[in-house]
Structure 1
Amino acid sequence: MDKSDKLYSAYLDILHEELMPAMGCTEPIAIAYAAAMARKVLEDMPDRVEVYASDNIIKNVKSVVVPNTGNLRGIKAATAAGIVAGNADKVLEVISEVSREKQKEIALFLDSTDISLHNSPNDIIFDIIVKVYAGSSCASVQISHYHTNIVHIGKDDKEVFHTQPCDDINQTTVTDRSIMTVEGIIDFAESVDIDKVKDALQKQVKYNSAIAEEGIKNKWGANVGSVLLNTWGNDIKTRAKAFAAAGSDARMSGCELPVVIVSGSGNQGLAASVPVIEYAKELQVDQDTLYRALLISNLVTIHQKTGIGRLSAYCGAISAGIGAGAGITWLLGGKYEEVAHTIVNALAIVSGIICDGAKPSCAGKIASAVEAGILGYHMYKNGQQFYAGEGIVTKGVENTIKNIGRLGRDGMAQTDKEIIKIMLGE
Structure 2
Amino acid sequence: MEKKDKRYQAYLRILKEELVPAMGCTEPIALAYCAAKAREILGCMPDSVLVEASGNIIKNVKSVVVPNTNGLKGMEAAAAAGIVAGEADRALEVIAGVTEGQKEEISRFLKAGKIQVRPMDTEEVLDMAVTLWKGGEEARVQISRSHTNIVLIEKDGEALYREKCADKVLRAAEDADNDGGQGAVGCKPEAGAKGGNREEADRALLNMEAIYDFAETVDPDDVREVIGRQIALNTAISEEGLKGNYGANIGRVLLHTYGNDIKNRAKAAAAAGSDARMSGCEMPVVINSGSGNQGMTVSLPVIEYAKELGCPEEKLYRALVLSNLTAIHQKSGIGRLSAYCGAVSAGCAAGCGIAYLQGGDLEAVNHTLVNALAIVSGIICDGAKPSCAAKIASSVDAGILGYAMYREGQQFYGGDGIISKGVEKTIGNVGRLGKDGMKETDKEIIRIMTGC
**Structure 1-normalised TM-score?**
0.98
Pick the aligned partner of 1:178 from 181, 204, 224. 204
Task: Find out whether 1:202 has 2:228 as its counterpart.
Answer: yes
Aligned to 1:43: 43
User: What CA deviation, in whole Å up to 9, does each residue of 1:369-397 have, x standing for no partner?
Assistant: 00000000000001110011111111000
Task: Report how far residue 164 of structure 1 moved.
Answer: 2.8
Task: Find out whether 1:341 has 2:398 as its counterpart.
Answer: no
Aligned to 1:299: 325
Distance 1:237 1:23 in 2: 28
Distance 2:74 2:157 in 1: 30
Distance 2:380 2:295 in 1: 18
Aligned to 2:257: 231
Distance 2:130 2:220 in 1: 40
Task: Report how far residue 113 of structure 1 moved.
Answer: 4.3
Pick the aligned partner of 2:303 from 274, 277, 289. 277
Percent identity of equivalent pairs: 62
Letter in 1 for 2:117: L
Aligned to 1:105: 105
Task: Report how far residue 172 of structure 1 moved.
Answer: 7.4
SS in 2 for 1:197: helix
Distance 2:164 2:238 in 1: 39
SS in 1 for 2:164: coil
Q: Which runs of 5+ in 1 are unaligned?
A: none
8 Å Cα contact 1:346/1:376 also seen in 2: yes
8 Å Cα contact 1:275/1:324 also seen in 2: yes
Distance 1:315 1:172, change over 3 A: farther
Aligned to 2:148: 148
Distance 1:350 1:172, change over 3 A: farther
Letter in 2 for 1:276: V
Task: Report how far residue 178 of structure 1 moved.
Answer: 1.4
8 Å Cα contact 1:49/1:115 also seen in 2: yes
Distance 2:198 2:108 in 1: 38
Distance 1:13 1:341 in 2: 27
Task: Report how far residue 422 of structure 1 moved.
Answer: 0.5
Distance 2:37 2:165 in 1: 18
Distance 1:322 1:313 in 2: 17
SS in 2 for 1:256: coil
Letter in 2 for 1:414: E
Letter in 2 for 1:333: G
Aligned to 1:27: 27
Task: Find out whether 1:411 has 2:437 as its counterpart.
Answer: yes
User: What CA deviation, in whole Å up to 9, does each residue of 1:335-361 have, x standing for no partner?
Assistant: 100000000000000002000000000
Aligned to 1:372: 398
8 Å Cα contact 1:154/1:161 also seen in 2: yes
Task: Report how far residue 49 of structure 1 moved.
Answer: 0.4
User: What CA deviation, in whole Å up to 9, does each residue of 1:103-139 have, x standing for no partner?
Assistant: 0000011112411111112221110100111110011
SS in 2 for 1:22: strand
Distance 1:370 1:139 in 2: 44
Distance 2:298 2:129 in 1: 30
User: What CA deviation, in whole Å up to 9, does each residue of 1:10-40 have, x standing for no partner?
Assistant: 1111111100000000000000000001101
Aligned to 2:96: 96
- Structure 1 stretch displaced more, 189-198 or 305-314: 189-198
8 Å Cα contact 1:352/1:408 also seen in 2: no
Letter in 2 for 1:174: E
